[in-house]
Structures are given as C-alpha cells and as structure tokens.
Structure 1
Amino acid sequence: MKTGKSAAAAWMLYLLMVIMLFLFLAPFGIVFFNSLKPLNEILLDPLSLPDQLHFENFTQAWTILNVPKALGNTVLITAVSVFFLVFLTAMSSYWISRHHDAWSGLMEKIIIGSALIPFSTLMLPLIMVLRKGGMINTYTGGILTYVGIGFPLAYLIMKGAAVGIPLEMDEAAMMDGCRPSQTFFKVIFPLMKPTVATVVISDVFWIWNEFQIALILLNTQKLQTLQLAINSMFGAYSTKWDIALPGLIISVVPIIVVFLLLQKHIIAGMINGAVKS
C-alpha cells in the first residue's frame, strides 16, 4: 500500500514538473516561432506554427536594429560593470569580514541599508548628480550607476564566501611572506570562485536585460543597448513584431551561452552558500 502511494506521489510530482516546464518554455517557444513568421501572419494567429520559415527576419533585424553596435554597447557596459562589481565586492567583503571594529560595522550597515532604498527614490538625485558631472549619455555614467545599484546584493553574496574562509588561510599566507594584497589575490580570491561565478551570472543577467536605467542614462543612438534597440520597434500606433521578435532571440543567445559555460560554478556556489548558511 505504501509502495502504491509512493508511486502515485512520484507520478504526481513528475506531472507537476512537466506542467511547470511547459509553462516556463511556452513563452520562449511562442517568441521563437513567431520570429520566423511575416508580420501579417504574426498578427492573424500568433499561436500557430509558421507556414514557412522566414529566416530573412533575422537578417532584417540585424540591419534595422544595428545589432553589431547595440551588441557591442551591451557587451562593453555589462562586462565593465560586472568586472568592477566582482572585484569591489570581493575586496570589501573580505576586508570587512577580517575587521570587527566600529568602522567596518558602520560600513556594512550603510551597504546593506542602501539595498533597501528603491531605485525610483534615487532616480531624480542620481540624474541631477550625473548631469552636473557631465555623465548623462556616457558609458561612464551608465557603468557607475550599475555598479552602485548592484553593489549591495553582490556584497551580501560575496560576504558569505569571505566569512566561510578560515582566518588560518590568512595567517599561513603571511607566514609565507605574502602582503595583504597578495594574500587576497593569490589565496582568498581563488577560493571564492564559485561565489564569483554566481555574482557574475546574476549581474550579467540583470545588466544585459536592464531597460529603465539604460533608457534614462544611455538614450542615444551611439550608446543604445540591445534592449533599447528592440524597444524602438514598439511604437504608439504600431509594432514591428517581425523585427522585434528576432531581436529578442538574438539578445537571448549570448546569455544562454554564458549560463552554459558557468552553470557548474553557479551550482557549486549555491551549494557552498547553502552549506555555510
């Protein structure tokens, strides 16, 4: 009797997983198949399979959206922002985890407290400061904003890894003649790799797909990211779905590649954090 109940529960679990997988993948499937249709077919029946595969939609999207330029901007802004986020949060979390004085405690409270402030509250003062510094519609302004907003969450993730590294590692490095900077880069940072991968993938996902900050701070043809280029296809009275949907597919492919390359490290980082918790 127990075996029968266990089998039924297992089948129910599998069925639930299949349903959840379908609900998760269905929107991607709809976008993909509609990206291969002409505009009139998309508008008439968006849920049907395409009668013919119109791969020319992708070549048109590549040209109209100026994908090489938009992709280059997105890669540059994402890569530089994530680079600074990783190293600044890794170093600060390591430093604070090794110092238990009032100053380090205050710094940590400020970092964590800043995560509770919604971006809508910061938006107007941020624009005023960046405009005064001549950083509106510049790579510098966008990158600084992403680093500042992403810092608190990335710090909290990194702090878990830094706290989990025993102090004996620092002492052993010092006995071998390492300076504090050498201890961090040669001993501590390599031990944080799984957590670094988690921070990298989460921040790459966020910055790559981010729209609001880019719309406010990078809203020129020269600095346009992929998300802004795709958004330009959505007008007040009409939408160029046959261009926008292939553009969405093009924007998703690099993210999938990054995830596949880092998935082992991401899982290791999550398990590492769960065990330490």
Structure 2
Amino acid sequence: MPLILVSGYPCSGKTYRSQQLIDFFRSRISAFTDGRLARLKVHHINDQSLGISRNVYHAARTEKDARAAFSSAIKRVLGKDDIVVADGLNYIKGFRYQLYCEAKAVQTTNCVIHVGTSIDKCRELYKHTSATNSAEEYSSEDFENLIFRYEEPNGMTRWDSPLFTVPYDDPTPPLEEIWEALVGSDGKAKVVRPNAATVLKPATEQDYLYELDKTTSDIVMTITAYQKDHAGEGGGSVCVPNVDGAVNLPANPLSLPQLQRLRRQYIALNRQHSLSKSRIAETFVDYLNDSLQ
C-alpha cells in the first residue's frame, strides 16, 4: 500500500502534518470491518521513532548513515497491507527518487507531501523551539545549511508526483484528495507497473555483466570527455552511440565521483535482472536523465 513521503524545511511542521495524515487514514480505515481496507496498518517513520539525533546532520558520514537507516525502516514495512508515512526532511531529490523506486518495486502507489512553510517562518519556529528544548534541536549552523541544501519537490518529475503542497496557513492537507490518489474511492488496489529499469527479466545473455559494466563505463567516460572539452561551461547534451536520446547535463559540471556513484547505483539495480544487452545504453541514459533533473 501507499508510501507517503513528507518533505520540507527543518522546523516547517512536517510531523504535525504527518500526524494529521495518520489520524485521517486511521479514521477512514476504522470505518471498514472486513476486506482489504480493514487490514491496512499505518506506520509513522521519522528520526525520533528511529532514535536518530539531529546532530547527525553535522557530518556527511553520519547523515548518510541516518538516511540509510531511514530508508531501511521504510523498506521493512512497505507492503500491500501497509500505509507508510515517511516523515523527514527528504530534501535530496536523489533520495526521493530512491524511495520512489522502492515503492514501484513492490507495485504500490506513492505521493509527496510538501510542507510549504516559508524560510522566515521556519526560522521563527526554530528560535522558539530552540529556546524551550535546545538539546533536541539542530545547531544553528546545521539548520541554515539544511535550508540552503533543500531541493524542493517538483511535480513535473515522476518521483515527486503526485505532489501535494500544504501552505503553513492551511488547516489541514487535502486529505480526501490524497486518499483518492493513493487508495481510490472504491478501495480497490491500484495497478502500479514497476520501472522497466528496475524490474526486468532474468539475465540470460552471455557476458551480460561484462557488457553492463563496460557500456556504463564508456558512457561515463564520454560525458567526462565532453566536459573536459567544454571546460568551465555547464549544461549541454552528450550524444551516446546507438542511443536515440542524449544525456542532458545540469548547469553545474559533474565530477567523476558523482558520475561513478550514479553508475554504481544503476549497476546495483540491474545486476540480477536484465533486458537485452542492446538496451543497456538506452536505459542508462534514461536513468542519468532522471537522476540529473
């Protein structure tokens, strides 16, 4: 059942909105006495429920470990009879994409709730909560850093859609619309097709893993060479041999470690399941374009 990804600035009211969602979903579920909807359980996952201190955001390594714990907790409970409210910053679009893929892998619906509280209001709320309970709050440096790094959800991308933005002054999220988008008015399970890049037929072609490694490595090197030839310039499109589309580069040049990280993620997703070797380049280009938006 659905994955509800809550995202917003620190101190924007994400947990308050999450609790509104949880209360509404549990109330709707309690109206059913039998059938699929009556079996649904609602899970609330956030840093507090996992015992994660807000000090983890002070260092890249501890923050990465915290995200891994958050993701693992979601995967443990995500299933056909569970509604998961993932209440966190979820400020990195690549991380939201990862969780979107997890939902697609188990063929369940998902949505993003953007808690649209302004930066000035978040700072006001931060000062108030820090004055009353500073031990459990972000440091001022981490607070400002997280605001600066926040990548706002974009409803035009697959992984941030459907997107529901909740302004600070709204009394509640659009609860009925969210229920309709995730569960449906008739209560029947919605059909969700898994991503072609993540759920594919088992590998049968000889040397598939070799081709997977070589093709992706060649594309990374092609992008690196293009950026070297256009030193100091961002953006642009990199044509890949035997692929109709091109890799659309972001405004800021990509480092080799960034490209290698995306390559490793793609290989990990496709190591055990594969399509024809001739489509590796095409799907890797699609994966890069999705990740770099």
Question: Of Structure 1 and Structure 2, which has the larger fraction of its residues in strand?
Answer: 2
TM-score with structure 1 setting the length: 0.25
TM-score (norm 2): 0.24
Larger radius of gyration between Structure 1 and Structure 2: 1
Q: Whose relative contact order is higher, 1 or 2, with alpha carbons under 8 Å and at least 6 apart?
A: 1
Structure number with higher helix proportion: 1
